[in-house]
Structure 1
């Protein structure tokens, strides 16, 4: 009888453990579904690769999180987070005061300048005066859209919005735009392509506006998830301290992407 009771107790314990393990759902890591090299892009087999993919793998390993990559349309990525379709955003999302009204962020994990590119041989300054009367392309729902609308549109620039960065780049190459504004690294990736080398060059950094461009890029999470935020901040600090961050960053950049 004692043996039977012990067997039953052991079976119950194992059953409870199995239920607990089964109920532990993976953490869904969202980022834009379109290519954004060198941060995220699908390879020939459809698997996602890039600097930010390596970053999220390092973060999840350090924080001991079971993460699953979950591409989402960029203009719906914050609603996807707040409605729990994804659990965090690792997709080059800048920390801004406006976004902080809806979601929370980890500490920054990189920070690079914002710049403007245009057609080769055309003098173009990335200033309100320099872009007056010009058509400038930006990706919708980004800080670049906000910046261009705030600084360039009032001076007479036509701000054209695109669902993806690639669409804006393609219209610039086709002569349907005078300029494109984006993160300098994303712009450099286009300028290094065969098409970019032929059509366009870098016109310069835009003037800083911390209120719009923010202090850097962070991991987006839902408000109130302080435990997750703590794990992510500790993981960011750890991979920078133990050399992991620098190791995979050197595969993509020859400068300090983390910034000052």
Structure 2
């Protein structure tokens, strides 16, 4: 009965001149999944609002939405792998995954180890202190002897080590721990990516304790030229496809929709 039903459908479509339309509607759907290239994507999962685990232990955030959009536009079959930040680049080079889409700044030091796509967002770094802090001047001389908090293996840690050698530094394992260290008074001031901490300051009760101090910091040597997707140096084909996909989601408005979901201003 099933065979007769299929034959009847095909015969009817052929008589109506619609067999080509029927095949066109079914064959691409069957081939779509087969045509996709597997890609393992590393993400930290501890850097809200860019990447984090929600109450159901599911990855969420700007990076995740951008990654999903790029996987769709670039025809990749993507698998997310949660990875400790310190091990991100070594494990990428070792082949444990294929790409890092986790708000990684494209510093000169990192460019020696990995290849980067075009920038997918940009953000300055900034100092943050409690509102009751007497700190107003954030020059190295003014902050000498103060307790500074930074996150491990970040551009901010490198910047502070080189330009603020006289500060007492506490290195935290993740951004949420860094913010808690500031609100709890373990450190006097922290240095962080401005967009990363924006949500904490603007939208959380804990973040009302604190405010930005001093100017935006945009030193290319340490902070690079914005955030990019990191790949192995020899992975040129994937690099080209991801750059094409990034251009596509910017051209068709997908990027702007994701941007608006997290920020009331453009971060391109």
Q: Specify if TM > 0.5.
A: yes
Q: Deviation at 1:25?
A: 7.1
> What is aligned with 1:211?
221
Q: Is residue 144 of structure 2 the alignment partner of residue 132 of structure 1?
A: yes
* Residue pair 1:33, 1:74 contacting (<8 A) in 2 also: no
Q: How far, CA to CA, are the matches of 1:65 and 1:126 in structure 2?
A: 45
1:232 corresponding residue in structure 2? 242
Could you tell me how far apart the structure 2 residues matched to 1:91 and 1:127 are? 30
Q: Unpaired runs of 5+ in structure 1?
A: 1-20
Residue number among 131, 139, 143 corresponding to 2:155 in the alignment: 143
- The answer for the alignment partner of 2:168 in structure 1 is 158
TM-score by length of 1: 0.85
Cα RMSD for the two superposed structures? 1.8
Residues 77-226 of structure 1: matches in 2 within 5 Å?
Answer: 77-124=88-135, 125-153=137-165, 156-192=166-202, 193-197=204-208, 199-226=209-236
Q: Deviations along 1:114-158, whole A, 9 cap, x unmatched? A: 1111111223233213322111111111100011111112xx211
Note the residue ranges of structure 2 that are not aligned, 5 or more in a row: 1-33
Counterparts of 1:229 and 1:218, CA distance in 2:
11
Structure number with bigger Rg: 2
Are 1:132 and 1:152, in contact at CA under 8 Å, matched by a contact in 2? yes
Give the conservation status (yes or no) of the 8 Å contact 1:38–1:252: yes
Question: Aligned to 2:213, what secondary structure does the other structure show?
Answer: strand
Paired residues in the alignment total: 234
Aligned pairs (5 A) from 1:41-80: 41-80=52-91
Q: Secondary structure at the match of 1:110?
A: coil
- Distance apart, 1:179 and its partner CA: 0.6
Distance 1:127 1:69, change over 3 A: same
CA distance in 1: counterparts of 2:175 and 2:56, whole angstroms = 22
Checking the alignment, whether the CA contact within 8 Å between 2:172 and 2:178 is kept in structure 1 is yes
The 3 A distance-change label for structure 1 pair 231 and 25 is closer
Q: Identify the residue that residue 4 of structure 2 maps to in structure 1.
A: none
Which residue, 39, 44, 50 being the options, matches 1:32? Answer: 44
Instruction: Tell me the secondary structure at the aligned position of residue 102 of structure 1.
Output: coil
What's the offset of the Cα at 1:205? 3.2
Match of 2:7 in 1: none
Whole-Å separation in 2 of the counterparts to 1:187 and 1:130: 23
How does the TM-score come out when normalised to structure 2? 0.83
CA distance in structure 1 between the aligned counterparts of 2:235 and 2:205, rounded to whole angstroms = 44
- Asked whether the equivalents of residues 45 and 59 of structure 2 are also in contact (C-alpha less than 8 Å), the reply is no
1:248 partnered with 2:244: no
